[in-house]
Amino acid sequence: MSTDIRVRYAPSPTGHLHIGNARTALFNYLFARNAGGTFIIRIEDTDQKRNVEGGDKSQLKYLKWLGIDWDESIDVGGEYGPYRQMERLDIYQKYAKELLERGLAYKCYMTEEELEKEREEQRARGEVPKYSGAHRNLTEEQRRQFEAEGRKPSIRIRVPDNKTYTFNDIVKGKITFESKDFGDWVIMKKDGTPTYNFAAAIDDHLMQISHVLRGEDHISNTPKQMMIYEAFGWDVPKFGHMTLIVNEERKKLSKRDESIIQFIEQYADLGYLPEALFNFIALLGWSPVGEQELFTREEFIEIFDPNRLATSPAVFDPNKLKWMNNQYIKAADLDRILDITIPHLIKAGKLSEHMTEKERKWAEDLVALYQDQLSYGAEIVELTKLFFKEEIEYDEECMNVLSDEQVPDVLRTFREKLEQLETFNPDEIKAAIKAVQKDTKQRGKKLFMPIRVATTGQTHGPELPNAIYLLGRDKVIMRLNDALNKLDR
């Protein structure tokens, strides 16, 4: 095996890029880049029934969106291709044939019904179901008979007797399996396609993979892959199995768990920034030295150490992700924030798809007003709803503010100051509020809260003069009149 660091991410094109798979890709990427090694993406598409058309393109698209690049794959080539398993069938068939010829594998003609009956009988006896080896030593005559019946064989590897498989996992430490716990397992299916463990082991060897970093759900696959390495006399790569990602209730992240958004495409559509998601995922099951939480991609590459992969499950905290994304949004150029917000306002029917220059400027000022509050792009619709309402319905908290005795005087005086303004802009509005303070002798909450509630219908919000400016003089005066009318009843 080469001493160079070569790692791979090997997705099946069965759907969209899941947060857990993205983490696997990201850790392999960081490991390779930190070590000056090679990062490969291999498409494991032999499970044709589960494959989704365009699934591989979707995987690559959203890995690129996250900020991950690779050195070898279906789109960039490389000297160890093809990088799609269905284009490598002749390779697997060649190695399966070799194992058959050496007596290390054999043809099994059992039907699925026979296999299921065998499993049921084992379960009834309280045993863990595994293949019994019923066709392990068929005679040539028996094989001919099965083939005459039209049975197509699968190919099974002969699992060695009384063999211990041990490996030192980068994350878990020493892990041991006994061969007696495995039945002879299928390496080639009846349709001529390889099983996952057979194909993965062959590909990892031929592509000179030095380290295999993947989720801990693959631990039980490792001894099977070691059997393939041993059968051919190949060196075994180093394995590292990352802990599970769990929700806040410490339950394994399930694709049916609707409390957490789980696909990268959904985050992109919601208006999350890719570098924020990259940062968040990199800290799911890996920790840097120190307390710092925000890092650039380049900083992650520099500090990544696989020995700091966590041994405890990684808790997915949606609020932490929102906080982190907000940090990146606050630091971003306004143009980027417009790209992730304006489409949501258009989709919600709040803005026209074909805005005039004046309308576009108003929309840009509106988004800028909320940039520091924004957790993700789509949130702009809810945050800005006060600007698109014709009438305000005051909740109990707002009515409590408006019920103070000084409120009518403050609102009438403010209305008068606005009507007198020659120029309607944030600076002049701010000056008008100060003039109200001088005339009414009200200050602080007694002054600002009634104005905010009457004009916006909210007790909290963005910079008040800016909000009033974007609402427009006519709408603000209309809202002041409505509030005063409610108070007069």
* Count of alpha carbons within 13 angstroms of residue 227, beta-carbon side: 30
Helices (H) and strands (E) in the chain, counts: 20, 11
CA–CA distances in Å: residue 79 to residues 14, 31, 208, 292, 391:
26, 21, 11, 40, 66
- Separation of CA 475 from chain center: 42
* Residue 277 token pair: 């998601």
Q: How far apart are CA 256 and CA 262, in angstroms?
A: 10
Distance of CA 269 to the CA centre of its chain: 12
| Contact predicate 427/465, CB 8 Å | yes
Q: Cα–Cα distance between 211 and 201 in angstroms, integer?
A: 12
Is 255 catalytic? The answer is yes
Q: Quickly tell me which residue has 């998601």 as its tokens.
A: 277
- Catalytic residue chosen out of the listed positions 97, 255, 389, 438: 255
The per-residue DSSP string of 329-373 comes to HHHS-HHHHHHHHHHHHHHTTSS-SS--HHHHHHHHHHHHHHTTT
Burial class (CB in 10 A: 0-12, 13-18, 19+), 2: exposed
Q: Is residue 271 a contact partner of residue 250, using CB atoms and an 8 Å limit? A: no
Tokens of 250: 């410490």
User: What is residue 320's three-state secondary structure?
Assistant: helix
Phi, psi (deg, nearest 5) at residue 406:
-80, -10
Could you tell me if 87 and 43 are in contact, meaning their C-beta atoms sit under 8 angstroms apart? no
Report the distance separating Cα 404 and Cα 464, nearest Å: 20
Residues tagged active-site:
255
